[in-house]
């Protein structure tokens, strides 16, 4: 009898221990979910391409790393305080557009006619609303014009004079086209044109010459909203009012709260053909791939096997970041509550 009671008691004790541990496990899982739900993440890029250490001076490398750090901090500070992903993306891109190191805003590359034509786009993952502008020559911050298209028009993409007029009506800051002139980009255009005309050129010592320098930012805020934005001067020597992937939603920029936000940089024509930013989202949604699997596949299989060089940054709904590229380097950085990272070359 004594043995029986003890035996039953033992069973009861064991069962309650299991029950208690299970409850703890559940509480733990819920806690983890809550932390993940409330975390923020921000990723930025400043272009991908033939960025090699041997072509870079230590001073120049330092300038790039500091600029990436500063940009990241601007966005992260907004997210840390509970600000919106849209605000973080806009302010971060403003800094990158103002910094002549990058091919966006001040520092944009020149087209074949010696003009700067700027493109930008934004997408909000919560409602699939999006805005884009193409071929701007007087708007200081093209990303803000793209946001105005998204929030204050019935349209998604405005280009040329119409886009300029709309930006002015919206009170967005404009500048004289000469504001965008930088000597290094002008020299790059002269070199590319000379090369096109058959000139034998020694390898340029300017690492920007052969790189795609678009800037982009993707943020997940503490409210669970994802926003992706991209801004660029396009590609040196572009002709015929060419647009690349940047103002094309689904090619250079995409965001959906159920999956991921993506901003791309690279040879835009390929990113349009393979709907790169949307393809990352689609692979996650339809194939159940992780953000790493989906973005790696698109960059290192789809694009690579078809000759499209470049990379992308992606942030998923849990704040996981992926930044694959198939070129020699990509200016990139990200921050999550537990980590900060800045990189330029492969293998770092
Ligand atoms: N994707 C941009 C374009 O084709 C260029 C770049 O990312 O550098 O216009």
Q: Which two tokens stand for residue 97?
A: 């557009």
Q: Which of 70, 73, 174, 214 is flagged as catalytic?
A: 214
- 214 carries an active-site annotation: yes
Q: Is residue 115 pLDDT above 50, yes or no?
A: yes
What is the pLDDT averaged over residues 333-346? 96
The domain spans of the chain are 29-345
Residue 55 pLDDT = 87
Atom of ligand 1 nearest to the CA of 252: 1
297 beta partners: none
Residue 195 pLDDT = 87
Give the pTM.
0.88
Q: Report the separation in Å between the CA atom of 25 and the middle of ligand 1, taken as the mean of its atom positions.
A: 48
Mean pLDDT of the chain: 89
Q: Please, which pLDDT band fits residue 71 given cuts at 50, 70 and 90?
A: very high
Q: Report the separation in Å between the CA atom of 32 and the middle of ligand 1, taken as the mean of its atom positions.
A: 38
Residue 212 pLDDT = 61
Q: Which two tokens stand for residue 289?
A: 């791939």
Residue-wise pLDDT tens digits, 163-211: 999 999 999 999 999 999 999 999 999 999 998 888 866 554 444 445 5
Residue 21 pLDDT = 40
Q: Please, which pLDDT band fits residue 7 given cuts at 50, 70 and 90?
A: low
Q: Whose CA is nearest to atom 9 of ligand 1?
A: 234
Indicate the top mutation candidate among 267, 325, 329 to test ligand 1's pocket, ranked by most ligand atoms within 8 A of CB: 267
Q: Is residue 13 pLDDT above 80, yes or no?
A: no
Report the share of the chain in percent with pLDDT over 70: 85
Atom of ligand 1 nearest to the CA of 268: 4
Q: Which two tokens stand for residue 301?
A: 């299989």
Q: Please, which pLDDT band fits residue 39 given cuts at 50, 70 and 90?
A: confident
Query: Which distant-in-sequence residues (6+ apart) come within 8 Å of 260 by Cβ?
Result: 226, 254, 280, 281, 284, 291, 294, 314, 315, 316, 317
User: Which residue, among 348, 304, 339, has the nearest Cα to 325 in the 3D structure?
Assistant: 304
Q: Whose CA is nearest to atom 4 of ligand 1?
A: 268
Residue 265 pLDDT = 97
User: Which residue, among 272, 315, 318, has the nearest Cα to 295 in the 3D structure?
Assistant: 315
Query: Which segment of 195-199, 236-240, 259-263 scores lowest on mean pLDDT?
Result: 195-199
Residue 32 pLDDT = 42
Query: Which distant-in-sequence residues (6+ apart) come within 8 Å of 158 by Cβ?
Result: 132, 133, 134, 145, 149, 166
Query: Which segment of 9-18, 123-132, 269-278 scores lowest on mean pLDDT?
Result: 9-18
Indicate the top mutation candidate among 116, 214, 253 to test ligand 1's pocket, ranked by most ligand atoms within 8 A of CB: 214
Residue-wise pLDDT tens digits, 128-151: 999 999 999 999 999 999 999 999
- Which helix (H) or strand (E) segment holds residue 75: the answer is helix 58-80
d(CA 115, CA 129): 31
**Cβ(250)–Cβ(259) below 8 Å:** no
Residue 50 pLDDT = 85
For the 29-345 domain, the top CATH level (class) is alpha beta
Task: Classify 253 as helix, strand or coil.
Answer: strand
Indicate the top mutation candidate among 268, 270, 271, 330 to test ligand 1's pocket, ranked by most ligand atoms within 8 A of CB: 268
Q: Report the separation in Å between the CA atom of 6 and the middle of ligand 1, taken as the mean of its atom positions.
A: 75
Ligand 1: which residues within 6 Å by Cβ? 47, 103, 212-214, 232, 234-235, 244-246, 252, 265-266, 268
Q: Please, which pLDDT band fits residue 6 given cuts at 50, 70 and 90?
A: low
Q: Report the separation in Å between the CA atom of 202 and the middle of ligand 1, taken as the mean of its atom positions.
A: 24
Q: Report the separation in Å between the CA atom of 219 and the middle of ligand 1, taken as the mean of its atom positions.
A: 20
């Amino acid at each position: 009898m004594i043995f029986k009671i003890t035996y039953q008691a033992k069973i009861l004790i064991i069962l309650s221990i299991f029950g208690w541990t299970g409850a703890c496990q559940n509480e733990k899982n819920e806690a983890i979910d809550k932390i993940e739900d409330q975390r923020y993440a921000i990723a930025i890029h400043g272009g991908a391409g033939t960025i090699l250490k041997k072509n870079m001076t230590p001073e120049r490398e330092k300038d790039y790393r500091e600029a990436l750090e500063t940009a990241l901090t601007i966005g992260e500070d907004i997210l840390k305080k509970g600000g919106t992903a849209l605000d973080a993306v806009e302010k971060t891109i403003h800094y990158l557009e103002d910094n002549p190191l990058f091919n966006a805003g001040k520092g944009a590359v020149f087209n074949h006619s010696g003009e700067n034509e700027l493109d930008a786009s934004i997408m909000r993952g919560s409602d699939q609303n999006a805005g884009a502008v193409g071929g701007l020559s007087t708007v200081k911050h093209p990303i803000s014009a793209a946001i105005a298209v998204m929030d204050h028009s019935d349209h998604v993409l405005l280009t040329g004079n119409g886009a300029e007029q709309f930006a002015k009506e919206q009170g967005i800051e404009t500048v004289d086209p000469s504001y965008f002139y930088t000597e290094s980009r002008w020299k790059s255009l002269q070199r590319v044109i000379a090369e096109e005309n058959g000139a034998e050129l020694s390898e340029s010592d300017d690492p920007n010459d052969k790189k795609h320098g678009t800037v982009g930012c993707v943020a997940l805020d503490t409210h669970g909203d994802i926003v992706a934005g991209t801004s660029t001067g396009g590609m040196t020597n572009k002709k015929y009012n060419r647009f690349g992937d940047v103002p094309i939603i689904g090619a250079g920029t995409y965001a959906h709260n159920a999956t991921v936000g993506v901003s791309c940089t690279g040879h835009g024509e390929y990113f349009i053909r393979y709907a790169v930013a949307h393809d990352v989202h689609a692979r996650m949604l339809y194939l159940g791939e992780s953000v790493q699997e989906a973005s790696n596949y698109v960059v290192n299989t789809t694009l690579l096997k078809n000759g499209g060089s470049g990379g992308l940054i992606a942030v998923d709904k849990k704040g996981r970041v992926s930044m694959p590229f198939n070129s020699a380097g990509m200016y990139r950085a990200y921050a999550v509550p537990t980590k900060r990272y800045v990189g330029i070359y492969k293998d770092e």
